[in-house]
Amino acid sequence: MAARRSGLPLMKYLRVQVDSLPLNYQSPLRLFPNPFLRRFSDEVRGTFLDKSEVTDRVISCVKSFQKVDPSKVTPSANFQSDLGLDSLDAVEVVMALEEEFGFEIPDNEADKINSINVAVDFIASHPQAK
């Protein structure tokens, strides 16, 4: 303990001279990747889809579902009250949307998707949707 305390005062007075660098100076470290810089793959980074495109794709996906009458499908349609789907059918629709857009919807979010508008909002705001 005494040895550690004796080293502290010396550290307090230690100074290092730093000269200013010229404006056109390029660090030799630029050749090596920065290990602290977070790099994301294109899959993780993703791009947000256009909401109108997402709406069209969601509606076509829901229309192609067997138990849905295509004439009842509108952007504001609710899965249960407007389209007559039960909870298991709604889960199957969400699974079809996962397949259509190429990403997995977490269970806690899938439970909240009960209409086409909610599905469109969620998918359009998800960075991994393709």
The predicted-structure confidence for 91-122, as pLDDT tens digits, reads as follows 888 899 889 888 888 888 888 888 889 898 88
Does the annotation mark 89 as catalytic? Answer: no
Q: So what's the pLDDT on residue 15?
A: 67
Backbone φ, ψ for residue 18 (5° rounding): -125, 120
Q: Calculate mean pLDDT across residues 50-54.
A: 86
CA distance 127 to 104: 12
Q: So what's the pLDDT on residue 70?
A: 86
Asked if residue 108 is part of any domain, the answer here is: yes
CATH number for 62:
1.10.1200.10
Asked if residue 21 is part of any domain, the answer here is: no
Catalytic member of 86, 107, 111, 121: 86
Domain ranges, residue 91: 51-125
Domain count, the chain: 1
The predicted model scores a pTM of 0.60
The predicted-structure confidence for 23-36, as pLDDT tens digits, reads as follows 666 666 566 665 65
